[in-house]
Amino acid sequence: MLEISEDGRTWVLSGPASSYAVHVTGRDELLHLHWGPRIGLADAEALALRPLPDYWPFESPLDGREEYPVEGGPRFVRPALSVRTAGRRGTEWVFEGHDAADGELRLRFRDGGLAVTLHYRMPSSTDVVERWVTLDNRGPAVELLRADSATWTLPDRDAWRLSQLHGRWGAESRLTRSGLTHGEKVIGSRRGHTSHQHLPWVALDTDATEERGEVYGCALGWSGSWRIAVAQLPDARVQITGGAGHDDSGLLTLGTGESYTTPVFAGLWSDGGFGGASRAWHAYQRAHVIPDAGRDRPVLFNSWEATEFDISEEQQRALAERAAAMGVELFVVDDGWFGARTSDRAGLGDWTPNPDRFPGGLKPLADHVHGLGMQFGIWVEPEMVNPDSDLYRAHPDWVQYQPGRKRTEFRNQLVLNLAREDVREYLWEQLDGLLAGAPVDYVKWDFNRCFTDAGWPEDPYPQRLWVDHVHGLYALLDRLRAAHPGVAFESCSGGGGRIDLGVLSRTDQVWTSDNTDPLDRLAIQHGFSQIHPARVMAAWVTDSPNAMLNQRASSLRFRFVSAMAGVLGVGGDLTRWTREELAEAREWVALYKEIRPVVQRGDQYRLRPPEGGLSAVQYVLGDETVVLAWLQAQRYGEPVPALRLRGLDPTASYECLETGEIHRGAVLLHHGLRVALRGDLDAKVVRLKRK
Ligand code: DGJ
């Protein structure tokens, strides 16, 4: 809902529980008024009448109060917009007016030939505010050093706390919380992709708990380099500004008639604690971001950990037969099926099946997999090339490089310059041909190295390839999805190196981490769930001991229950699993299929974090509830504490499908559910159904 004051200078956007209000002063200053619980237009107008603080000359009354601080004039905060026109620094805009249509509010400003439009949208039934900015240049060329998507202003409070998701390869999305001190905390990626090191999300609170208290969150929809800066200003205010690009060293030049649209930066206010905020983010993504989120994702098998590069059609058929017998619904051939790709040293870029390994192409295997009743998927890494490939031999200038400088090879590969139209066209032809040439239902789209030598010798402003690469990727994905609507896509980047709202709006799920150790995964998944729903979080059961990472041995039970918290997959070498293991796995897969709608579409409650002892997650959908509980290590023979459930009707009774016991809702909510767990690395699934 949008309310606008009579003079057209105050706006209030409201969702079910929250409001967001801004105001343009008579001097064309755009002030932030409110972000928090619902208010009406009269409240916003009262806020607009409050005088700005009467500061000494060493502070600016605008700082911490402006909605989108530009560079220049009486401002000392980090500018969201930084431009250079011939001989001039910064922006001095005039307010031109607003438009409101289709649930979107646009506030229009102009500085000479440069039009700056701030966009706002609250998608229906959510408290998420989507913000972005467009810049249209009708004047002489403008150099865009930085154009953030939004600056978010929090109300005056005594002490703010920052939550963030940090990590590295094999250890992504780990949650930390710490008090904010004066100055700035900057997170981001200089790597050309979203990165394993930080997810583009922050949350700010003062005293929230998992289920209570105010939480402000912001998440960026951008899959390239990015930056979010959280500033504790000299007074009690906090501002969060974020957008594409890590530094202020230049995004693009805007020639006359050119325009630029920033990615969306979404913000959410919730008073339901961290859990309530996560559920609101999940509901928003399922309803407005993730394509076709009402359709549950299938159980997949992926061959990577089983075979790595040593693959053949015969061996994939053997794996497929075992996977099908286990109840798997989608069989994915990972790396190694194409070109001369028998190791990571060659073949990337040559997207035709390796004739020694797949003499008849991929179709015979795909047909076999379909014959077994499963969908068929393949792995690709289109944005990369091995120097030892036909593609690179033919087009050594198609990669990102700087003349006279080294071409850094990480994993023996270079990054293709997707800002180039010929490169995008080549990739389109290759991928479209692949999807047309074999019955492929699913594509795992990988990205296994960061940008290092981002340069484009022929382009007068080579800096723009950082942005244009991402636009090129999005355009390719969009075009492929439109041409092959039945094909699902997974975003992977050496695990969770490219997970953000931008890529999620054009992929069906993401590969969470290359770390498939079921214990480490609990913490990774706990962090992931702060922002993203289980519906996109791919998790595989692999071999024990965990060969990829740590040699930790764990039961099939523990591995399955850990992976059942997301989109279940199996990634072990099934040719080495015993008959008993295969039979047990079949039961787990069948159980997952029963609970899948609740896990993938339900409201998620984090009952206890994975901090060493008992941890648990609960999902609620309609009358059904699923609890997944894990005991890392039982100490001193202490009994395992009861799990206080959430989201139930206290007046209802619930039947436990595992034991047949009938539980009272009020008892489960207040006194909790006892789950029989013992020893180390034990796990249980509990299903409850309202009577
Ligand atoms: C990195 C991915 O995260 C793995 O799952 C696997 O696909 C390898 N790349 C293949 O090179």
**CA distance linking residue 76 with residue 83, whole number of Å:** 16
Please write the tens of the pLDDT for every residue from 277-298: 999 999 999 999 999 999 999 9
Catalytic residue flag (residue 63): no
Name the least confident of 44-48, 212-216, 248-252, 323-327.
Answer: 248-252
Per the rule left: phi > 0, alpha: psi between -120 and 50, beta: everything else, 180 is beta
Sketch out the chain's domains with CATH numbers.
2-288 (2.70.98.60), 300-597 (3.20.20.70), 608-690 (2.60.40.1180)
Q: Which one-letter DSSP state was computed for residue 281?
A: H
- Reported for 584-590, long-range contacts at CB under 8 A and 24+ positions apart, including other chains, are 584/556, 584/557, 585/326, 585/541, 585/556, 585/560, 586/325, 586/326, 586/327, 588/541, 588/556, 588/557, 588/560, 588/564, 589/299, 589/326, 589/327, 589/328, 590/327
**CA distance linking residue 349 with residue 341, whole number of Å:** 10
For the record, the structure tokens of 398 come out as 């198609």
CA of 511 to the centre of ligand 1 (A): 9
Res. 55: pLDDT tops 80: no
Res. 327: pLDDT tops 80: yes
For ligand 1, say whether the CB of 495 is within 6 Å of any of its atoms: yes
Please write the tens of the pLDDT for every residue from 155-205: 999 899 999 999 999 999 999 999 999 999 999 999 999 999 999 999 999
Mean pLDDT of the chain: 96
Query: Residue 598: its pLDDT value, please?
Result: 98
Catalytic residue flag (residue 344): no
**CA distance linking residue 688 with residue 444, whole number of Å:** 34
Query: Residue 236: its pLDDT value, please?
Result: 78
Q: Percentage of the chain with pLDDT > 70?
A: 100
For the record, the structure tokens of 332 come out as 């994915």
Per the rule left: phi > 0, alpha: psi between -120 and 50, beta: everything else, 585 is alpha
For the record, the structure tokens of 397 come out as 């200038």
For ligand 1, say whether the CB of 528 is within 6 Å of any of its atoms: no
The pTM score is 0.97
Q: How confident is the model at residue 87 (pLDDT cuts 50, 70, 90)?
A: confident
CB 244 within 8 A of CB 467: yes
**CA distance linking residue 615 with residue 607, whole number of Å:** 7
Question: What is the number of residues in the chain?
Answer: 691
Helix axes 556-563, 518-528, angle to 10 degrees: 10
For ligand 1, say whether the CB of 494 is within 6 Å of any of its atoms: yes
Query: Residue 637: its pLDDT value, please?
Result: 87
Q: Is 179 exposed, middle or buried (0-12, 13-18, 19+ CB in 10 A)?
A: exposed
Question: CB-based contacts of 6: which residues, under 8 Å, 6+ apart?
Answer: none
Please name the helix (run of DSSP H) or strand (run of DSSP E) that holds residue 284, with its range, or none: helix 273-288
Closest CA to 93 of 60, 130, 118, 129: 118
Pocket test for ligand 1, best of 492, 509, 512, 513 (most atoms within 8 A of CB): 492
CB 16 within 8 A of CB 8: no
For ligand 1, say whether the CB of 514 is within 6 Å of any of its atoms: yes
**Helix intervals (H) in 507-626:** 518-528, 556-563, 579-601
For ligand 1, atom 10, the nearest C-alpha belongs to 335
**CA distance linking residue 293 with residue 301, whole number of Å:** 21
For ligand 1, say whether the CB of 446 is within 6 Å of any of its atoms: yes
CA of 205 to the centre of ligand 1 (A): 36
Query: Residue 248: its pLDDT value, please?
Result: 85
For ligand 1, atom 4, the nearest C-alpha belongs to 494
Res. 52: pLDDT tops 90: no
315 to 205, 310, 334: CA distances (angstroms): 52, 9, 13
Average pLDDT over residues 315-325: 97
Closest CA to 229 of 67, 77, 118, 75: 77
For the record, the structure tokens of 22 come out as 């801004």
CA of 102 to the centre of ligand 1 (A): 41
Give the CA angle between residues 280, 283, 286 to the nearest 5°: 150
Is beta strand 567-570 parallel, antiparallel or unpaired with respect to 537-541? parallel
Average pLDDT over residues 550-573: 97
Asked whether the CA dihedral 363, 368, 371, 375 is positive or negative, the reply is negative
CA atoms within 13 A on the CB side of 441: 16
Q: How confident is the model at residue 612 (pLDDT cuts 50, 70, 90)?
A: confident
Please write the tens of the pLDDT for every residue from 377-407: 999 999 999 999 999 999 999 999 999 999 9
For ligand 1, say whether the CB of 511 is within 6 Å of any of its atoms: yes
What do you get for the CA distance between the two ends of the chain, in Å? 38
Pocket test for ligand 1, best of 446, 449, 515, 524 (most atoms within 8 A of CB): 446
Please write the tens of the pLDDT for every residue from 236-283: 789 999 999 999 888 899 999 999 999 999 999 999 999 999 999 999
Q: Return the SS3 of 68.
A: coil
Res. 56: pLDDT tops 80: no
CB 540 within 8 A of CB 570: yes
